[in-house]
Structure 1
Amino acid sequence: MNATSMSSPAPVLPPYLTQQLRRFGPLLIIIGLHIALFYALRSGLMHQVAQILPREIVASFVTLQPPAPEPKPQPTPKTVPVVKKTVTQKPRPVITDKPAPQAITEATPPAAEPSNAPPSDAAPSAPPAPAAPAVPKTISGVSYINAPRPVYPPLDARMGNEGTVTLRVLINEKGRAEKVEVQKSSGSLRMDDAARDAVMRALFKPYLEDGKPAPAYAIVPINFTLNR
């Protein structure tokens, strides 16, 4: 017979008891551990274990400072002999109120006598310079009292020359032409001269500035046209 057949069967706990062990088993184990710990404390077993364990070692690091440099020897100051200078005082001149026997005294001029002559009048001041005359204005349009009547040059009429002369005329306060300049020629000197002579004989209405006649420049065109 085999040994397995000879061994007794394992005891089987009833189901009720198995459920109670599963339920209260952990609690019984915890209680047993507490009882064992309490016993160990009472018997001094924990104290022996604490003595066996290594103790804590505290190490501290100390920083070493470098040695201080040795002081350098200071040079001893040299002794310089002091040389005293002798200052010779120059003789000061003696000032006396008495004149020297060979001194030349300057004769004081006599005081000027007050004159009874009346004071001369101050030099008359120069009269102020006259103000520069104002430049006449240039007007755009003119009115005539006697309009210019130019004479057509016969040679230009025979040759059939035509043109327009533009004149710049300075009209004075009386309406007369004081200065006539040819601003644009007609192309014929004879027609330019005839236009200038006609403007010099004409009579203009004076230019009024602030209600008073004033000289003014005017641009006057003179046409030379042949009736064909």
Structure 2
Amino acid sequence: MIKSNRSRDVISPSAISSGADGTALITLESRNSGDLQLSVESSDITAEPLSINLKDAWYESTFLITGYNVCDETDFGGQMTAANGLGDQHRYDFLYSASGVIMQGTGKALNGRYVRYVSMTTTWHLNEHTHHRDHIQDPTHVTFAYTDSVQGSFGPVSENHSIAVDRNVIPPHAHVSIGGVGARYADDRGSAIVGNHIDNFLGSGAAVVQAWLHGGVNGKQQRVKYIGG
């Protein structure tokens, strides 16, 4: 059995188990660059450890790059209203519409704080033409709370810093470098983020989305380098 002295390295038999001269072939998978030693753990085999230096750890396959954001109260124009759990009044459609906090989970308010949805015991009103959700039936049965930041699955997320990933491909909190984007940290995940797909957190509001779409990276395949965990 061949093992690495680094716990995160994975060693498995190669698809072709041996070379033409009988040399054993293995596959070494690692996200970490740097020095390592391979050794044989067998009472029947005597072998000197093999020292290897791995250079930058690029993922073998490229990644689909997309972006996501939370809503911003400045993009809404509804009347100001009180809400359960909030001390200040906020625009009605920012809180209760299908493009607001009640649907997105979090939004940035006019007072500079973030508002997050907590719970509701009401249902959605459906648009009579499209039959899609447009706003909450009874706002008095919805509760919100203020929060200091947007919360991802693995911690707070911030623009130009955080990404949502498939944790089976990129570990939580991992530091990566994305072609055309830059350095990012895996602070979040999403149900639609599966396999080699990275969703870049853009911040709040419609303007950040437009800037992202004009940046030429959205929907493209990019190379990704694993920097560290």
TM-score range, shorter chain: under 0.3
Higher relative contact order (CA 8 A, sep 6+): 2
Q: Higher strand share goes to which structure? A: 2
Q: Which is higher, the Rg of structure 1 or of structure 2?
A: 1
TM-score (norm 2): 0.17
TM-score (norm 1): 0.17
Q: Higher helix share goes to which structure? A: 1
